[in-house]
Structure 1
Amino acid sequence: MHVRMTLLAAGRSSIGADVRFDDDRSLDAAGWEEAVRRAPTLSHLAAAQLRYCSPSTRCRETGAVLGLSPLAQPALLDWDMGRWRGATLTEVTVREPEAVHQWRTDPRSAPHGGESLLTFIRRIGGWLDTRPVAAGEWAVAVTEPSIVRAALCYVLKAPPHTYWHLDVQPLATLTLTGLTGDWRLELR
């Protein structure tokens, strides 16, 4: 029997130009307002038998605003950016332009000392495949947008560079159905 897993991208914690690697900020005012406004349309997620979240502050807050009471999963930590943690892409590009180029073009590289893109995608895929969900159950996980992107690459068996061509907006949902290693993307 198949299981169903819905990934929900956390609400906004900063504007685009201020997005920092591996940032653990709270939802900003606009993020809170949007989550409260969208809560009625996302209320059906509370019917899931299991509710998880990434351990970050904004994921836990998004889950709380939506009434999900999710359980934090360490396996759903954001992409480990090593020494780039807390910096913006612009800041890192100014300091280490060659390292940023390598990071963007070689999915096996981790010039920042954290996880490579390939390792990150495999980690998220491993969580999906060993998810704590029984057959026939539905689970919801409030995650970082990067985790939704990695899950899409894994489920679709897409080349790692596909990650750079996916945009995940705050509070976007992705529903997957299937079994270990044989996931399907469900569009509604």
Structure 2
Amino acid sequence: MQACMTLLAAGRSSSVLDARFDDDRPLDATGWEEVVRRAPSLSHLAAAELRYCSPSARCRETGAALGLTPLAQPALLDWDMGRWRGATLAEVTVREPEAVRLWRADPRAAPHGGESLLTFIRRIGGWLDTRPVEPGGRAVAVAEPAIVRAALCYALKAPPHAYWHIATEPLATLTLTGGAGDWHLALY
């Protein structure tokens, strides 16, 4: 029997237009309402033996609101965006249009001074591969949407550019089965 890892995208901390790189804001009022409304449909996640979360405020709050009491994992920090941290994509595009173009086109590029897309996907994959989930065991991680997208790319061994074609809404779940280096997408 394979291990099962479910990643849950954190609740909302801002509107899409105000989404900021490496954002550590807590859940906003709408985010809290969505978590409370969706809690019954996510209650099965509490059966996981291992419960993790990204260290950000909204991930910790999402996990706590769902009664998961997750353990914060430094390896699940959001994508390191270097000097772009705290800015919106629109703001950075106005200031550094060529850097944004390079960042989107080359998965090895990190014009912001943080992690490249390839490095980020590998970091998240390394975290997945080192989880001590026993065969038949379950784990859950409340994570930033970027982490959920990176985990999917890693698990499917998709080219890094696939990252840009994955939409991750607040409270979306991704379930993977398998284990180190051999993860599979599970559709339920």
Q: In which range does the TM-score fall when normalised by the shorter chain?
A: over 0.9
Aligned pairs (5 A) from 1:29-178: 29-178=29-178
- CA distance in 2 between counterparts of 1:7 and 1:113 reads 27
Relative to the length of structure 2, the TM-score reads 0.98
- CA distance in 2 between counterparts of 1:17 and 1:38 reads 23
Structure 1, unmatched stretches of 5+, are: none
Give the number of aligned pairs.
188
Give the superposition deviation at 1:131.
1.2
- CA distance in 1 between counterparts of 2:127 and 2:89 reads 27
Deviations 1:144-186 (A, max 9, x none): 0000100111111111000001000100111100021111100
Counterpart in the other structure of 1:26: 26
SS in 2 for 1:55: coil
- CA distance in 1 between counterparts of 2:65 and 2:137 reads 23
Structure 2, unmatched stretches of 5+, are: none
- CA distance in 2 between counterparts of 1:14 and 1:179 reads 34
SS in 1 for 2:52: strand
Judge which range, 130-139 or 54-63, deviates more: 130-139
SS in 2 for 1:108: coil
* Root-mean-square deviation (Å): 0.7
- CA distance in 2 between counterparts of 1:170 and 1:68 reads 17
- CA distance in 1 between counterparts of 2:123 and 2:130 reads 11
Deviations 1:24-74 (A, max 9, x none): 000010000000011011011101001000000000000011000000000
Counterpart in the other structure of 2:185: 185
